[in-house]
Amino acid sequence: MRNPIPGTAITITDLAARLGAPFEGQGDVIVSKAAEPQDAGEGDLALAMSPKFAPALAQSRASAAVLWQGADWQSFGLKAAILVSRGRLAMAGVTATFDPGLGLAPGVHPTAVIDPSAQIGIGAAIGPLTVIGAGARIGKNARIAAQVSIGAGVTIGDDALIHPGVKIGARATIGDRLIAQPGGVIGADGFSFVTQEKSAVEEARESLGETVEAAGQAWMRIASVGSVVIGDDVELGANVTIDQGTIRATRIGDGCKLDNQVHIGHNVVVGRHCLLCGQVGIAGSTVIGDFCVMGGQAGAADNLTIGAGAIIGAGTGVLSNVPKGKAMMGYPAVAMQTHVEMYKALRRLPRLIGKLRGDG
């Protein structure tokens, strides 16, 4: 079935087909937007995929609902219901159906500045005050909002959705179906500096701090002449920053999802279908395998390898290599179960010390 135009009304029959789920009742009922049960009115689709929402649904005036399997939908006064086994999966299809998008019509806004050598794909929409540099190539049906900056030589695939204020530096290569939320920066220079002689930082790393002296030196900049390469179906949250490589490219694999304020340092390689939550930071030249997950405010030091399928808990500091498939937590990162035991032991310390002192 062809997908409906986002933001338009749809019948229960068509929506159920889109979700791949059965429906009961009147398939010709039309719904125009989704709503939480307590807020749903006539013509709305109530989302109540768990029995815990039954009391709110009973007070609703919704025409139809998405419900848990086995629900007695008629008892809620509904005309129709779609019954799903995985509520969150159904939510993805429902929200995609009713997403109104950015409202950008195909064409180039008169205030946009596009270099004559840039190539704009068929059906693309270029918003107000957007700048596209020399030799850039924008794929078909791209939707680029206001005040976006796209540098020289950038390639962006088909069906991109780029929100206001995104900045894409020169020579970046981006696959199909990119989604970039407001304020992101792709292709800034990496944070690379060197001193004339061996620095205190290098000495500290080699000696573990034994021979560090107070004297310092001026830092000289190492230019970033690499690029950024991003695969297909990547989503970047608000204010994501991805540095370009020093010599080779910084790479983000197909299907990766980066949350708000994630920072990817120069030369980092992120594998396919990784999930990096808010404020994750990856230092330069670290390699992350496929299907990894990093919780909010987790960080990884430079030049490490995090194996495929690893799960890094929120707030974890990864200071050494992580084997594939390991779940890690804490600072420094240890196996998740070990961290839980350490935390339990830490909470018991005051009582144990009191016993040693003979208190109470």
What order of strands is seen across the sheet that includes strand 305-306? 119-120, 137-138, 155-156, 173-174, 228-230, 250-252, 269-270, 287-288, 305-306
CA distance 66 to 47: 5
| Inter-CA distances, 277 with 26, 54, 253, 298, Å | 41, 32, 16, 8
Residue 270 — pLDDT band, cuts 50, 70, 90? Answer: very high
The pTM of this model reads 0.88
Give the pLDDT of residue 360: 58
Q: Taking residues 241-249, what's their average pLDDT?
A: 97
What order of strands is seen across the sheet that includes strand 107-108? 107-108, 125-126, 143-144, 161-162, 179-180, 235-236, 257-258, 275-276, 293-294, 311-312, 327-329, 334-335
Domain boundaries, the chain: 10-98, 113-183
All residues at 6 or more sequence positions from 245 whose CB lies less than 8 Å from its CB, including other chains: 190, 224, 226, 227, 228, 266, 267
Q: Which residues of 157-182 are buried (b: 16+ CB within 10 A; e: fewer)?
A: bbbbbbbbbbbbbbbbbbbbbbbbbb
- For tokens 């009147």, the residue is 26
CA distance 66 to 57: 11
Average pLDDT over all residues of the chain: 93
SS3 15: helix
Task: Sort strands 10-11 and 64-68 into parallel, antiparallel or unpaired.
Answer: unpaired
Question: Which of 12-21, 45-54, 336-345 bottoms out in mean pLDDT, i.e. has the lowest?
Answer: 336-345
- For tokens 């937007």, the residue is 33
Q: Taking residues 65-82, what's their average pLDDT?
A: 95
Dmax of the chain from CA atoms?
83
CA distance 16 to 94: 10
Q: Taking residues 155-178, what's their average pLDDT?
A: 97
| Inter-CA distances, 122 with 166, 184, 231, Å | 22, 25, 21
Give the pLDDT of residue 197: 84
Look at residue 4 and tell me whether its pLDDT is greater than 70: no
Catalogue the active-site residues.
Answer: 266
Look at residue 63 and tell me whether its pLDDT is greater than 50: yes
Look at residue 81 and tell me whether its pLDDT is greater than 60: yes
Chain centre distance of CA 155: 21
* 10-98, CATH topology level: 3.40.1390
Q: Taking residues 10-37, what's their average pLDDT?
A: 95
CA distance 214 to 337: 40
Mark out the alpha helices in the chain (DSSP H runs). Answer: 12-19, 54-58, 87-98, 200-207, 336-357
Are 223 and 202 in contact, with CB atoms under 8 Å apart?
A: no
